[in-house]
Amino acid sequence: MIDLVFTFNREILRFKIKDKVLYYTDRKWKKWIQCVPKDPKLIQLITMSRNSLPMTLVTLFDLTPKEEEEYKAAKTDKELSLIVIKDAGLKGVKLLKKNES
C-alpha cells in the first residue's frame, strides 16, 4: 500500500494505492473514494453535486482516455504512484509526503 499526501490551495489531499486501485480523501470527504478504476458511485456523486464539490475533486478525476489507458497499463502500485505524482504535478498539485508499506 502506498500513501500519497498532496497540497493544493492550502488544502490537504490524500491518495491511497492498494492493489492497483486508487482511493482519494480530503477534509470534506471523510470516507475514501475509489477514483481509478472509477467507482460508479463517484460518477453519480460528481454529476449530482458538482456545485458543492471542491473544484480539485472535479478536475482531478476528469481523465482523458489516454490517461485512463496509462493508469490501466501500470503493473504495480509503485508505477501507479509515479503516474499519480506526475499527473498531479501537471494540474498544480504538490506532493508533500509519500509512504510505502
Domain boundaries, the chain: 2-100
- Would you state the pLDDT for residue 35? 81
Q: How far apart are the first and last CA of the chain?
A: 5
Q: What is the pLDDT of residue 64?
A: 82
According to DSSP, the residues that pair with 13 across neighbouring strands are 6, 26
Residue 85 backbone class (left: φ over 0; alpha: ψ -120 to 50; beta: rest): alpha
- Residues 54-92: pLDDT tens digits? 555 556 667 788 988 998 899 999 999 999 999 889 888
What's the confidence (pLDDT) of residue 52? 54
